[in-house]
């Protein structure tokens, strides 16, 4: 039986509420931290990623997957906000916003240029905080001082992807774990919250490797947020060439959820999970592999799997999640 839109929304709402009792979701974190409705608005500095320009970039990277329609170098920050904010308010009501510089390497520019971009965002009356996504080696004291100068809550996000050195090399990340540790230490010394992205399904990684990555994250108190990504193979990437040569298999959603269920119990309960699935799998139409279903359906599968296995975030750590 096909559900009406209203029934579907009600189901998704109830499903999300139940998931919030099992894992520390971003929505719960925002409610706790700000006590009001807060959303992220994706913005672009207009900078590109130096690693991609210099080396061709990470073997999985496809820039078309991280550029939204109002995130374009041709628009100023004011223009991006003028387009995005009314749309968010129309859908979500009266909300405050976090400016999320999410594409490319959002700190890889001259300080004067970056200051202009970040400042334009924080001066908007609805913006109450900043999130800046970057590579580990582009986190330095000058960038941190600049971000702190705005006197708003700041989170730096870096692509960790994995704590296994061989995998970092395989992915052509162009940095090693030591670079990640340096960025983590700098954030810690400066009392800045850090979020990390990790990828599940990297060819050659075992479940123990992935659990080691979780243990590494647990050991860094300054890491407050994690984004899980299932490895998605986009056409016209070096990873797609390896896939077409049958060098590895892409995880389907059920296999991926099964792995998540082997990681979530080991993740410290106070780390916010702000993503469970790679975004933009569908929109770009350039992903290889089978992604039948929708994100709410996948989240529901995850919820059911956690309940069936009687597990929740951090249940196998000394710091279980407390809803």
Q: Which residues form the interface with ligand SF4 (CB under 6 A)? A: 49, 51-52, 57-58, 61, 104-105, 135, 159
159 vs 201 by CB, closer to ligand SF4: 159
Give Rg (Cα) of the chain: 19
Say which residues have a Cβ less than 8 Å from residue 159's Cβ, sequence separation at least 6: 58, 133, 135, 136, 173, 196, 197
State the minimum distance, in angstroms, from the CB of residue 298 to ligand SF4.
Answer: 22
96 vs 275 by CB, closer to ligand SF4: 275
State the minimum distance, in angstroms, from the CB of residue 206 to ligand SF4.
Answer: 23
127 vs 239 by CB, closer to ligand SF4: 239
> CA-to-CA distance for 45 and 114, rounded, in angstroms?
7
State the minimum distance, in angstroms, from the CB of residue 122 to ligand SF4.
Answer: 24
Joined tokens for residue 124: 């908007």
58 vs 156 by CB, closer to ligand SF4: 58
Burial 142-152 (b: 16+ CB within 10 A, else e): ebbebbeebeb
Nearest 5°: phi and psi at 234?
-95, 145
At 230 the three-state DSSP class reads strand
**Which residue number has the CB closest to ligand SF4?**
57
State the minimum distance, in angstroms, from the CB of residue 205 to ligand SF4.
Answer: 17
57 vs 269 by CB, closer to ligand SF4: 57
State the minimum distance, in angstroms, from the CB of residue 105 to ligand SF4.
Answer: 6
Nearest 5°: phi and psi at 194?
-125, 140
């Amino acid at each position: 039986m096909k559900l009406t839109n209203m029934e579907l929304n009600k189901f998704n709402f109830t499903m999300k509420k139940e998931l919030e009792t099992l894992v520390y979701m971003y929505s719960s974190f925002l409610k706790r931290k700000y006590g009001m409705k807060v959303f992220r608005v994706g913005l672009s500095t207009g900078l590109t990623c130096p690693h991609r320009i210099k080396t061709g970039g990470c073997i999985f990277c496809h820039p078309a997957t991280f550029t939204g329609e109002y995130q374009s170098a041709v628009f100023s920050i004011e223009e991006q906000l003028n387009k995005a904010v009314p749309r968010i308010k129309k859908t979500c009501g009266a909300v405050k916003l976090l400016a999320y510089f999410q594409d490319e390497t959002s700190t890889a520019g001259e300080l004067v240029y970056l200051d202009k971009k970040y400042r334009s965002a924080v001066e908007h009356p609805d913006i109450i905080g900043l999130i800046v996504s970057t590579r580990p080696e582009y986190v330095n004291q000058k960038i941190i001082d600049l971000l702190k100068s705005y006197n708003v809550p700041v989170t730096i996000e870096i692509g960790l992807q994995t704590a296994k050195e061989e995998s970092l090399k395989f992915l052509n990340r162009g940095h090693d774990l030591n670079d990640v540790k340096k960025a983590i230490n700098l954030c810690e010394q400066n009392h800045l919250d850090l979020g990390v992205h990790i990828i599940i399904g990297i060819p050659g990684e075992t479940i123990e490797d992935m659990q080691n990555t979780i243990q590494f994250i647990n050991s860094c108190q300054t890491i407050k947020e994690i984004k899980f990504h299932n490895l998605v193979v986009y056409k016209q990437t070096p990873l797609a060439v390896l896939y077409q040569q049958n060098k590895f298999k892409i995880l389907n959603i059920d296999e991926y959820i099964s792995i998540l269920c082997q990681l979530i119990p080991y993740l410290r309960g106070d780390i916010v999970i702000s993503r469970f699935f790679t975004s933009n799998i569908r929109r770009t139409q350039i992903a290889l592999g089978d992604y039948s279903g929708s994100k709410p359906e996948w989240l529901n599968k995850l919820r059911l799997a956690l309940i069936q296995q009687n597990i929740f975030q951090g249940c196998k750590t000394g710091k279980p999640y407390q809803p």
